[in-house]
């Protein structure tokens, strides 16, 4: 991750440590394999999470995207086609954001308040542009590393010992061809149950940061 302390008010890596709250976040949504399974678990466990949506995936799986919103989860902008923002022109970066904003507005009726750069990479100039739009760039302080195709035990080990009040946990609910997020799906009930046993409340990023 490449970040600059200069944008401390725009960039959030962790929520306030004053409340026993954890935000579960899922990148690269939606897809038609893993996202529905994750939504099933969240519904069963009565948990609201935050999904960072990729624009072309909203177009490809509109019914799953609508389900995320319908079931009360929060959403954020995760670019249109998941480029490394450091490798593209600033005008193309802005198009990545605005094109996906338009698609998300079609889902929730407003521009999403939060953005997560793919790979956690963003330049100072890009951060400045988002700050000018009063957007919040949401990173994370706990990384499940589930995109590596880890099994459920490995995913659990990457999350539970590392959380603390205010933690923002990075997981994925969509993947490319051949990717396997079964570890996340199988780990999720264990993660939820254990966090609750430890007295944590599971909230969306927007709830944690008190942003609309």
Which of 3.40.30.10, 3.20.20.370, 3.30.70.1520, 3.60.70.12 is the CATH number of 5-209?
3.20.20.370
| DSSP string for residues in 98-140 | HHHHHHHHHHHSS--SEE--GGGB--HHHHHHHHHTT-EEE--
For the beta carbon of residue 46, count every other beta carbon within 10 angstroms. 9
Specify the pLDDT at position 177: 81
- How high does pLDDT run on average in the chain? 95
Mean pLDDT of 141-155: 97
Assess whether 193 carries a catalytic annotation: no
pLDDT at 6: 66
What's the length of the chain?
A: 212
**C-beta separation of 1 from 139 below 8 A:** yes
Instruction: Give the residues across from 201 on adjacent strands.
Output: 21
pLDDT tens by residue, 169-209: 999 999 988 899 999 999 999 999 999 999 999 999 999 99
Residue range 93-132, pLDDT digits in tens? 999 999 999 999 999 999 999 999 999 999 999 999 999 9
Query: Helix (H, G, I), strand (E, B), or coil: what is residue 77?
Result: strand
27 labelled catalytic? yes
Active-site position among 27, 28, 31, 146: 27
Per DSSP, the three-state class of 79 is coil
Domain boundaries, the chain: 5-209
Residue 155, pLDDT above cutoff 70: yes
DSSP 3-state assignment of 74?
Answer: strand
Q: Kindly name the residue from 73, 78, 82, 172 that is annotated as catalytic.
A: 172
């Amino acid at each position: 991750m490449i970040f600059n302390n200069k944008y401390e008010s725009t960039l959030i890596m962790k929520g306030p440590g004053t409340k026993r709250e954890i935000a579960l976040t899922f990148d690269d949504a939606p897809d038609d394999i893993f996202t529905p399974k994750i939504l099933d678990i969240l519904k069963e466990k009565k948990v609201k999470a935050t999904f960072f949506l990729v624009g072309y995936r909203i177009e490809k799986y509109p019914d799953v995207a609508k389900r995320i919103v319908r079931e009360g989860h929060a959403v954020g902008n995760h670019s249109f086609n998941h480029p490394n923002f450091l490798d593209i022109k600033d005008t193309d970066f802005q198009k990545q954001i605005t094109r996906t904003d338009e698609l998300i507005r079609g889902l929730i009726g407003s521009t999403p308040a939060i953005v997560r750069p793919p790979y956690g990479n963003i330049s100072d100039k890009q951060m400045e542009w988002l700050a000018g739009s009063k957007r919040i760039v949401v990173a994370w302080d706990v990384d499940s590393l589930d995109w590596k195709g880890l099994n459920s035990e490995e995913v659990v080990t990457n999350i539970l010992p590392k959380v603390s009040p205010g933690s923002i946990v990075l997981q994925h609910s969509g993947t490319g061809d051949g990717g396997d997020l079964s570890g996340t799906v199988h780990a999720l009930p264990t993660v939820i149950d254990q966090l609750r046993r430890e007295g944590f409340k599971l909230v969306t990023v927007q709830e944690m940061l008190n942003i609309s």
